[in-house]
Structure 1
Amino acid sequence: MIAQLRGFIVVLVLSTVWPISAISAPSQDVEVLHWWTSGSEAKAVQVIKQMMENQGVHWQDFAVPGGAGESAMTVLKSRAISGNPPAAAQIKGPALQEWASLGFLTNLDGVAKAQLWDQRIPALINKDMKYHGHYVAVPVNIHRINWLWINSAIFAKAHAEIPKTWEQFFTVAEKIKQAGYPVLAQGNQDWQTTTVFESIALSQLGAKGYRQAFIEHLPQVLTSPAMVHSFALLQKMRPYIVHPENHQSWNRATAEVIHNQAAMQIIGDWANGEFLLAHEKMGKDIRCVPVPGTAHQFIYSVDSFAMFQLSEPNDIKAQQRLAHTIMSPELQARFNKIKGSIPVRSDIKLTGFDACSLKSERAFKRSLKTHSAVPSVAHGMATTSYVQGAILDVVTNFFNTPDASPKEASEKLMRAILAAS
């Protein structure tokens, strides 16, 4: 991303002069860039806004639609390079280190020390929030990616059993299809397809092999029989997708499950937020089970806000207050109940949380003990933006080519990752 961002600087200097009016911002405002625009996400954001405004800080909402944040990152680069960054921006994983290395982010150590972040944030998440030992971002939540969401009504009508293995999954999918019901909801977007693929890959590679492939980039694992089989399983899934060519958003796909237009969806538990918003009874109307073969593993994604360097003292105070508010017990509980995720603070009791969130918390704690928690590739937690982009390209091109060879795809994946590393 660094080289990409520097190239962006050259283009911007040659083509754009940011208006002076955009640089000045009123005091005691906090402008926050994010891509939470679905119904449940927007409702969750209102919790942060309300809590900030209750403290006398005006919330400037800077929402950029796009489920994976690609559009938001493009806008953010323009703003940051022009010397007009927002106070905070939703950035994840290794990208935080990239932004910090360019000198854009500010130090949050004071807030972190006051709230004991070192003790209350799990170590595997804590490291991503720091640059050279100093906090530059505040985490909001923990999402589990490897969820299979089940529409109980369709399963009951088709007399289908919840699958625990991939063999059972395809048997159930065919049974539901033959019974005349739509099977799998998914939008044909690169990050949605890769969300499914990384869960499949985890089931075949295990946590150790997953890390070796997507973090360590070992060629022998990237081209292993397990990886080849992962591509084969992804390919086998395509005939069961309700609209395989439709580039619909993830929440439109989730709506298909809600409205009995699809029996299943494989996606992270932000879908849980949409189910809750629709007043579905989690664990009854909608069942949440691990993707086949991943019951004892946990693919995680952490929403976090990077804090950008500001010059006005009042803006800096408002920014620090935002970081403190995000990590407060009240916000952690209220926000995540709506978002469908679980709090990032380890000392929060999940009183009043839904059944699927409780399952997620148990699974996460278990995965920490067994070292089976792995970062999401599709959601920018596992590797650099360059490598992530290469993986998304290979997986998406394979998925959209019905007669593609799984073995050749694994070899392309290996070459693409090594070239981007």
Structure 2
Amino acid sequence: MSILRLPSLRRSALSLALMAAATSVHASDVEVLHWWTSGGEARAANVLKELLEAEGYGWEDFAVAGGGGETAMTVLKSRAMSGNPPSAAQIKGPEIQEWGELGLLGDLDEVAEQEGWNDLLPEVIADIMRHDGQYVAVPANVHRVNWLWANPEVLETAGVEMPTTLDELFSAGEAIREAGFVPLAHGGQDWQDATVFESVVLGSQGVDFYRQSLVELDPDALGSEQMVDALETFKRLRELMDEGMPGRDWNIATNMVIEGDAGFQLMGDWAKGEFTAAGLTAGEDYLCAAAPGSEDAFSFNVDSLAMFRVSDDDERSAQQALARLVLEPTFQEAFNLAKGSIPARPDLDMSAFDSCAEQSLADFKRTAEEGGLVPSMSHGMAVRADVQGAIFDVVTNYFNDASMSAEQAAERLVSAAQAASF
């Protein structure tokens, strides 16, 4: 269960503790808690640090490793309970609303109005950044989760092309294994399992079913034959993975594709930051496509920085500067080029971006119009953290337990969603 929902955390007590807490950084500094720690992500975060320092403010880095952000959120909740949260933190999706409900987030409406955020941001993104109609966070980017990455040399050696359906993925995977490579690079961590599961649900059952089951948590959908079919397909993917996957970090799996040890990886477009950091060119040294069967869907994850309420005017000024810089073209371009995502504001010149990013932006706009734009369950955009955690447990336990049937897993998904909702 999320710490934010424990009865002992009363809003008034937390607020008073926050206002009275002695900060560990200088008032003109901003302590930023985030989990941008892999090669491409660290480069991206450093861009913002340099821009902030150029304006005379200090950046106190508080990086917490862990690709899915669960560890960082645990640390953040511990800091908040002690009345000493950082100035800014990487928070996203429904958790922004949870922190807002506790009265702990700062008001960014002034800088939002000065910079015209309402005109710059798509409404679907702007709405996530607001609590009770007030801006409390700023988006750094838009990630697409349902991507398939590939090494073209491995594919050529195996005599296969990029698959557009899950059946084609299985067929290509067998040919890649026969050619002496790992078909599908993967890291055996719960959030990575859920990332793959999400793409399988989208690719095998479509957007409407995905929304009903993994966003709305409809028990009829979660326990349906469609979910059983998706779970069975998901588990078959283990056949394409290697025995060394347990505990492997996502960027290590990406490096397997980079080095030509593996053919494919199902992972969000932050993986592209690793290809970029390795000096590789999209469309030549690596390939990208929507996860098989999900070309009409865009499962999104938005990295954002929320500002915690502070009493010192100098610290508030530093926060406002940080928020302004996040949406300015210089950072949006540099950050997203380094991280592999697309800008949160679609008005920017994309000429410096590669073909994968151009496709991502085009698909983002198209799916927003056609109804295929959906929040990522696996990356904290669709459901509360406690619900997400319950789903993670079922998905990863099923994926790693040969004796658990898809029917049993579907029943447990229903129970997990219902139990976590109370």
TM range (shorter): over 0.9
What does the per-residue CA deviation read over 1:254-313, in whole Å, with 9 as the maximum and x for residues that have no partner? 111111111100000000000011011111111001111101110000000110011111
Write the distance in 2 (CA, Å) between the matches of 1:24 and 1:46. 21
Distance 1:85-1:154 versus aligned 2 partners, 3 A rule: same
Shift of 1:239: 1.7
Please list the CA deviations of residues 63-84 of structure 1 after superposition, one character each: whole Å capped at 9, or x if unmatched: 0011111111111112122221
Does the aligned pair in 2 maintain the 1:145–1:267 contact within 8 Å? yes
Q: CA deviation at 1:3?
A: 5.6
After superposition, residues 13-412 of structure 1 pair within 5 angstroms as 23-243=23-243, 245-412=245-412
Letter matched to residue 155 of structure 1? L
Q: After TM superposition, give the deviation of residue 207 of structure 1 in Å.
A: 1.4
The amino acid that maps onto 1:333 is: E
Compute the displacement of 1:414 (Å). 1.2
Aligned partner letter, 1:318: A
C-alpha distance in 2 between matches for 1:178 and 1:402: 24
3-state SS, counterpart of residue 343 of structure 1:
coil
2:30 and 2:59 in contact (8 A); partners too: yes
* Amino acid corresponding to residue 386 of structure 2 in structure 1: Y
Report how far residue 348 of structure 1 moved: 1.1
User: May I ask how many residue pairs the two structures share in their alignment?
Assistant: 415
* Greater Cα shift, 153-162 or 76-85: 76-85
For residue 141 of structure 1, give the secondary structure of its aligned residue in structure 2: coil
Shift of 1:418: 1.3
Question: Does structure 2 conserve the Cα–Cα contact (< 8 Å) formed by 1:204 and 1:227?
Answer: no
Q: 1:135 to 1:49 in 2, by over 3 A?
A: same
One-letter amino acid of the counterpart of residue 90, structure 2: Q
Contact 1:189 1:247 in 2 (8 A): yes
Deviation at 1:219, TM superposition (A): 1.5
**Letter aligned with residue 276 of structure 1:** T
* CA drift at 1:372: 0.5
User: Does structure 2 retain, via aligned residues, the 8 Å contact 1:238–1:244?
Assistant: no
Distance 1:388 1:99 in 2: 17
Any conservation in 2 of the 1:187–1:247 contact (CA below 8 Å)?
Answer: yes
* Separation (CA, whole Å) in 2 of partners of 1:3 and 1:34: 18
Structure 1 residue 246: Cα displacement: 1.9
> 2: CA distance between counterparts of 1:320 and 1:308?
11
Q: Does the 8 Å CA contact 1:201/1:230 hold for their aligned counterparts?
A: yes
Q: In 2, are the aligned partners of 1:97 and 1:131 still within 8 Å (CA)?
A: yes
Shift of 1:8: 7.3
Q: How far off is 1:25 after superposition?
A: 2.7
Q: Which amino acid aligns with 2:147?
A: W
- On the 8 A contact 1:300/1:374 being kept in 2, the answer is yes
SS in 1 for 2:61: strand
Cα distance change, pair 395–244 in 1 and its aligned pair in 2 (3 A): farther
Which range is displaced more, 240-249 or 318-327?
Answer: 240-249
State the alpha-carbon separation in 1 of the partners of residues 102 and 125 from structure 2.
Answer: 21
Kindly tell me: are residues 231 and 2 of structure 1, through their superposed partners in 2, closer, same or farther at Cα, counting changes over 3 Å?
closer
1:104-149: CA deviation from partner (whole Å, max 9, x where unpaired): 1011111111122112211112111111111111111000000000
Q: Distance in 1 between matches of 2:411 and 2:246?
A: 28
8 Å CA contact 1:235, 1:402 repeated in 2? no
TM-score by length of 1: 0.95
Structure 1 Cα separation of the partners of residues 221 and 21 of structure 2: 53
Alpha-carbon deviation of 1:376? 0.5
Report the CA distance shift for 1:42/1:8 in structure 2 as closer, same or farther (over 3 A): farther
SS in 1 for 2:193: helix
Identity, in percent, stands at 46
Give the Cα–Cα distance (whole angstroms) in 1 for the partners of residues 339 and 72 of structure 2. Answer: 19
Structure 1: stretches of 5+ with no match in the other structure: none
SS in 2 for 1:23: coil
The TM-score, its normalising length taken from structure 2, stands at 0.95
Counterpart amino acid of residue 51 in structure 2: M
Q: 1:245 to 1:112 in 2, by over 3 A?
A: same
Cα offset for 1:23?
3.1
Q: Which amino acid aligns with 1:370?
A: E
Q: CA deviation at 1:242?
A: 2.1
Cα distance in 2, alignment partners of residues 119 and 174 from structure 1: 49
In 2: Cα distance, 1:36 partner to 1:393 partner: 24
Helix, strand or coil at the partner of 1:305: strand
Question: AA paired with 2:340?
Answer: G
CA contact (8 A) 1:108 1:320 kept: yes
Quote the offset at 1:4 in angstroms.
Answer: 4.7
RMSD of aligned alpha carbons: 1.9
- Per the TM alignment, residue 346 of structure 1 is displaced from its structure 2 partner at its CA by 2.0
CA distance in 2 between counterparts of 1:101 and 1:2 reads 14
